Chains A and B, each alone.
Chain A
Amino acid sequence: MLNYREGDEAAFEMLYRKYEKPVLDFIYRMVMIADEAENLCQETFFRVVRARKNYQVTATFKTWLFQIALNLCRDRQRRMKHRSHLSLSARVRAQNDRDAELQDVLADPSLDLVRRVETAELGALVQRAVAALPEAEHLVVVLKEYQGLEFSEIAEIMDCPVGTLKSLNHRAHEKLRKTLAKYLGD
């Protein structure tokens, strides 16, 4: 990012290529709607471009980028609270996304048919279980489990002590274990 700030356009290309997928994936797991996630992901990188000249090294670029994405997700959540008619529409679209996701899994030739069906069903259940968590727990699970971030990085993004995050994560795991008990065995 420092290179980009200094005028190296190729540096932005590298950043974009490296973080496009993780940022999109993160946003998708927060908003649960694919096209909304793409819009917010695009906005995230556009804000990086706009902030280029004023960029200061206060955190790693990765955590800064995820902070931008998270703020956009939260802004969207706030807007949606006041727009029930869009929420209804979003549910339909979310369903379409889920259907598409199921279709993707079903089409994966690397899994046998029975496994494919099970995976597809389970994926939808997991999505619902994660979505049902309170926002902070949802966020920690997404950043930890799906983005593979360290608690110290999550602490920067959420501006929250590591100890609190570990408690949130533990609490979220307990809830998920209950919701998904029949798939965990033991």
Chain B
Amino acid sequence: MNCEEIRKELADFVSGKTEAAMINEIKNHLEACRDCSRELRQTKRLSEVLRSWKGIDPSPLMVDKLKTRMSASGSSWRKIFSLSTFRKAAFKFAEVAAIVAVTLLVSRQLQKPAPKTSALAPINFYLMEHQEAVAQTASAELSELPTAHIPVDRGDFLYYEFIDGYPRAARPGVILRGRPSQKDVKPPETPPGSKEQIITLEQARKAVGFPFVAPQRLHPGYILDSVRKIEDRKCLHLLYTNGIDTLSLFEQPANEEHGLGAKDFREYAVFRSVEPVPGQVNGQGRVTILAWISDGVSLVLIGKGDLSQLMDIGQSINVATGTANHGSQ
């Protein structure tokens, strides 16, 4: 082999992958050729230098997303992720985050219209990562941990917050911060779905002044029922229904005073309500709430479907964002 051919083999030679038959030929050449010998040293040094560009580690949420997609697509995956994996991830989460603050808009369209006398709906919110971190510290079973339990007015904005500097806290802290002006979410004069409530997607786009998105996938049987702008706010509420249950999507710029901030969480924040408390609630069933930020827009998806269904819809919204398919239905 000549110098040119030898030099093409140096990458394999350095990594010990040279074919046995060629090793002696290369060694002999290197002993006799100062230029190629110098090239070998530089190849070795280059490999060392290239390694100073570090890779990345998978985030714990990546596997969750895949699992959710697999469930949504009907593929099964055995219980792969041990509790300890989740706990490890939870601690990592708890250590890194300084403050997690999530603003949830709970609208009256969360459920079917109810009499004004049943305006309070108890919803137990919890952040799974935080709970697991607490569980690990306290060597307690998850089921023994109390969730935060707050009576929430259906028209309220709810703020969920905990300070992560103290992951050993016995229970998640939940703070309701100053109620918004009632005029922001005042009860509509007419039932949802009436003509006065409905604006077109094009009108909505003009009304809010930001590129909102609509999900590309919905639960079977769901159709868009109404689009409305929350009064005095750049917030849009898309209401979908299958005639029985509803699915609400709230969108607003993430930098708005009442919206989620970019630092509020890393990926999705997932909340689930518990079953209604007998005698306290009228019509409030198990609700899953998904909150996230995509392209500067704060999104809150609320529905009665299971988490994988909501994640699937959320994913389709992100896809729509990614393809600039704003406002499409």
Q: How many residues of A contact B (CB 8 A)?
A: 54
Contacts A21-B55, A29-B55 given; 19 further ones with Cβ under 8 A? Answer: A12-B77, A13-B80, A16-B63, A16-B66, A16-B80, A37-B56, A38-B58, A38-B59, A42-B62, A101-B56, A104-B54, A123-B53, A126-B49, A126-B50, A146-B50, A166-B8, A170-B8, A173-B43, A184-B42
Give residues of chain A (29-61) contacting chain B, Cβ–Cβ below 8 Å: 29, 34, 37-38, 41-42, 45-46, 49-50, 52
| A18 in the interface (beta carbon within 8 A) | no
Across chains A and B, which 7 residue pairs bring their CB atoms closest together, nearest first?
A25-B55, A126-B53, A166-B8, A122-B52, A123-B52, A9-B78, A13-B80
Report A41 CB to chain B, min CB distance, Å.
7
Q: Chain A interface mostly helix, strand, loop or mixed?
A: helix
A24–B58 touching, CB < 8 Å: yes
Cα-based distance from A144 to B41 in the complex (angstroms):
18
In the assembled complex, the Cα of A142 lies from the Cα of B63 at a distance in Å of 24
For B69, what are the chain A residues with a Cβ–Cβ distance below 8 Å? 42, 46
> How many A-B contacts at CB < 8 Å in the complex?
111
21 CB < 8 A contacts A-B: A13-B80, A20-B63, A25-B56, A28-B55, A37-B56, A38-B58, A38-B59, A46-B66, A46-B73, A49-B75, A105-B52, A105-B54, A124-B53, A126-B49, A126-B50, A127-B53, A130-B50, A169-B8, A170-B7, A173-B43, A177-B46
CA distance A38 to B8 in the complex (A): 34
> Does B54 contact A101, Cβ atoms closer than 8 Å?
yes
CB-based contact B52/A126 at 8 Å: yes
Does B219 make an interface contact (CB < 8 A)? no
Q: Is the CB of B76 within 8 A of A42?
A: no
> Does B175 count as interface, using CB distance less than 8 angstroms?
no
Whose C-beta in chain A lies nearest to the C-beta of B318?
A39
Which residue from B49, B53, B65 sits with its C-beta under 8 Å from A184?
B49
* Interface check A180, CB cutoff 8 A: yes
Measured CA separation A10–B142 after assembly (Å): 26
B34 CB to closest chain A CB (Å) equals 12
B83 in the interface (beta carbon within 8 A): no
Q: Which residues of A contact B9 (CB under 8 A)?
A: 166
Q: What's the least CB distance linking A52 to chain B, in Å?
A: 8
